[in-house]
Structure 1
Amino acid sequence: MSVEEAVDRLASKGFVRVVGHADADGVASAACICSALTETGIGYRFTALDDPSEVASTDGDVFCDLGAQYLNGIDDGVVIDHHPPHGSFDGVVVGTDAPSSSIAAHRVASRLSSGDPVSALVGAMGDDVPLSEVSDVVDEALAAGVERDEGVRLVGNDAAEALTYSTRPFTRLSGSPDEARRFAESVGDDELPTAVVLLALTNEGTRAETAADLVGDVYRMPSGVGLHELSRYVETCAVSGKPGLGFSTCLDPASCIDEARSVWRAFESTLIETVRGARIEEGSPSFAYVDGSLDTGAVADVLLDRVTGDIVVVGDGEASFRAEGFDCERVAREAALTVGGAGGGHASRAGASFDVGDEEFAQAVRKAL
């Protein structure tokens, strides 16, 4: 299906119900579309879903970062989703060839109005898309006033705060504000990039690729808010049950950034505690069992850096997969189906929901493998 068909459907409506996945890519995708709707004079309502499989029971005209894997449950509408499609329906599907749903949404929004390259990049960063793959959108953002520099891609007001709440990389300073402050004060601004990379590599076993990604191009809006920072704030708001705040932060960062930063601090603090308390069974893949309702995808991202090989994180009826040795999307889907749940995602990262015990689901994963 074409972008033009999606644009025609949206332009013909007076009001649009926009449904997005509750993560950075889903929320940023919705922000791209809703910003364009506003410029065009079309009203909208935004809602977010934690579980993409619930899309079948949700009324929507546009589905952002969800829907492609559950097409049989949707009657009509526009699906903007970079996940592999399953099933068929009478509407329009765009984005399955895009690196992120937000980039696909930006393509649609740019045809409908002027587009929002910042939200497009926020979503792409949330899905770990290298910005070199979306250089055209980067160029649009630079033309719109975003500034590019070189530095450390940490999130926070200053180095001490960034190291205190850092989970990627996860270091001995994570969750230790006093130690983080002493470390930051012991190195100068010029030495900070090298110091942080060495800290990541030597203290917690962070993968070399993750440590290398800490230093490079950084992008800041005229207000001074960094795009990597903004993406992390939107992600943590979305998975903390506040997708509306993440959505508003995309559309108007200046007015929401302080509240979003507070949510980020609380989320990262809980994530640090959860990672330190995870029960890990090493193997191929390794399994990690966590307590509480924290997003297992966030835990999986951290543990992928700290555990050698592939990882499956299981806890509270959810599971997240990060792997290169097997097809995560297939295994998540097949394992979930055997226990009456639902799963999907990408070959290297996927998720599942289930209503059985953690150990029973882990057995289903082993059988699927």
Structure 2
Amino acid sequence: MSETHTQTVDPDAAATLATELATAPFVRVYGHADGDSLAAAGLLAVALRSRSVPFQIHVSDDPAGDLTDPDTEPVDDDSQTVLVTSGRRDVADHAMPPADDSRPASVVAAAVSRELGVDPDPLLALAGTIAAGSLPGTDGSGSLLEQAEQSGLVERRPGVAVPTADLADGVAHSTLLSGPFSGDTDAGEALLAELDLPAEPAEFDDEDHTRVASVVALETSTAETSTPKAADAVETVLRPYATPNGPFATLGGYADVLSALAAETPGLAISLALGAANVTDEALDTWRDHANAAHRALQEPITGRYEGVFVLRVETDRPAALPTVARLAQQFRSPEPVALVVTADPVDGQRHAAAAAAADDPQGLAESVASVATEFGGTAGGTPTQATCSVGGDVSDGDLIAAVREALE
């Protein structure tokens, strides 16, 4: 049985949006670069393609800004624009989810898909739900989980949520975890070797999966860098929904890959959603590269604690990994509500920063960070709980940190 879901989708709102899109000569979808928005855009793309409605999808850190950019190609009066984000949504014809709706965008997109007469992929929708920080079966996703369970698409079991059958690979590269084994496949293999498990994960029974979950949870929550809330964060990775016939081993693993693709190559995720052949391996390679960069950045940061903000100066040449670094720092390391990550050195002539706050403690990060970008003549984007910023390389990391702290206050 699925867990009780706390909300249901407004059928009238979904029906109204579906009607508008079904009759549109062209639909432009602008999505934020996160796993939930990406899954929602993918669900919408599948439905529009099935209805032979031409569409274009654009994913970025600042979709609202891109939509209103004067250099953006003009939108035909008869075209419909859909903004898929939990950030600013008042600049498009339609918002997903609506501004007063706290449900994941994937849940709303699935409802719109049904109204368009197209059955949504429950695995993609549920993976997007997890990427949004919700549990399958909650926040309006109950019917999706029920459908997946009844169709045999998912099966809950003990263990950890990773996208690969190779658990050492999955645990080492997971960006849902931050522990001593993160970014180190050899350490992941050594961790599992101590458990004397069967040679193949396919031979694991529930007890084997439970032992894996226990040691991963223990190592993660007791790491030297972990804060007490790390124990709560790791809970979301335990007792996963296995997906025997899905593109990845578990729903949580699917969500992890979507989030990595959103930051690195969103077009690949859209191709995955549209059913393109032979893209799973490429998606996993992207996920591994993204995870390695994020975990490397977290290995030896210079940290500072201020009232309300935990700052990490990191070394990285991959700015796309910074939102993941900030999220992991917030979930597993930060003793303050907000984690702020700043590159110690400029990358390609730009100083980069990313901030993350707990989903249940929104800080209006996008607005705060945008004000800092304006101050320094840079660019920014994000949502109430995550934001990114790029400014000129002549701005010092100290000045950028001070400006963000002041904006948050």
Q: Into which bin does the TM-score normalised by the smaller protein fall? A: 0.7 to 0.9
2:398 to 341, 351, 359: 359
Paired AA for residue 363 in structure 1: A
2-structure distance, mates of 1:266, 1:255: 18
Runs of 4+ in 1 over 6 A off after TM superposition: none
Q: How far has the Cα of 1:233 moved from its partner?
A: 1.6
Unaligned runs of 5+ in 1: 63-73
Contact 1:335 1:364 in 2 (8 A): yes
Q: Could you say which residue in structure 2 is the equivalent of 1:234? A: 258
SS at match of 1:295: helix
Q: Could you say which residue in structure 1 is the equivalent of 2:295? A: 272
SS at match of 1:320: strand
SS at match of 2:222: helix
**1:137 correspondence with 2:174:** no
SS at match of 2:57: strand
Q: Could you say which residue in structure 1 is the equivalent of 2:68? A: 56
Q: How far has the Cα of 1:86 moved from its partner?
A: 6.1
Q: Could you say which residue in structure 1 is the equivalent of 2:220? A: 200
Superposed, 1:205-216 pairs within 5 Å as 205=226, 207-216=230-239
Q: Could you say which residue in structure 2 is the equivalent of 1:27? A: 38
**Deviation string, structure 1 residues 259-284 (Cα, Å, up to 9, x no partner):** 11111111111111111143221222
Change in 2 beyond 3 A, CA 1:139/1:286: same
1-structure distance, mates of 2:321, 2:363: 22
Decide which structure has greater helix share: 1
1:319 to 327, 346, 354: 354
Higher RCO (Cα < 8 Å, 6 or more apart): 2
**Deviation string, structure 1 residues 324-357 (Cα, Å, up to 9, x no partner):** 495434533444444445656554x121424242
**Structure 1 vs Structure 2: percent identity of aligned residues?**
22
Q: Could you say which residue in structure 2 is the equivalent of 1:249? A: 272
Paired AA for residue 39 in structure 1: S
**1:298 correspondence with 2:321:** no
Q: How far has the Cα of 1:224 moved from its partner?
A: 6.6
Paired AA for residue 303 in structure 1: A
Q: How far has the Cα of 1:54 moved from its partner?
A: 2.1
**1:110 correspondence with 2:125:** no
Q: Could you say which residue in structure 2 is the equivalent of 1:191? A: 211
1:127 to 116, 123, 132: 132
**1:181 correspondence with 2:189:** yes
Change in 2 beyond 3 A, CA 1:245/1:346: closer
**Deviation string, structure 1 residues 11-49 (Cα, Å, up to 9, x no partner):** 113443333223322221111111111221223333322
2-structure distance, mates of 1:19, 1:174: 33
2-structure distance, mates of 1:103, 1:61: 27
Change in 2 beyond 3 A, CA 1:106/1:259: same
Q: Could you say which residue in structure 2 is the equivalent of 1:65? A: none
1-structure distance, mates of 2:388, 2:59: 17
Unaligned runs of 5+ in 2: 1-11, 198-207, 344-350
Change in 2 beyond 3 A, CA 1:362/1:119: same
Change in 2 beyond 3 A, CA 1:288/1:22: same
Count of matched residue positions in the alignment of Structure 1 and Structure 2 = 355
Paired AA for residue 47 in structure 1: H
Paired AA for residue 301 in structure 1: R
Q: How far has the Cα of 1:221 moved from its partner?
A: 4.8
Paired AA for residue 35 in structure 1: V
> CA RMSD, aligned part only?
2.9
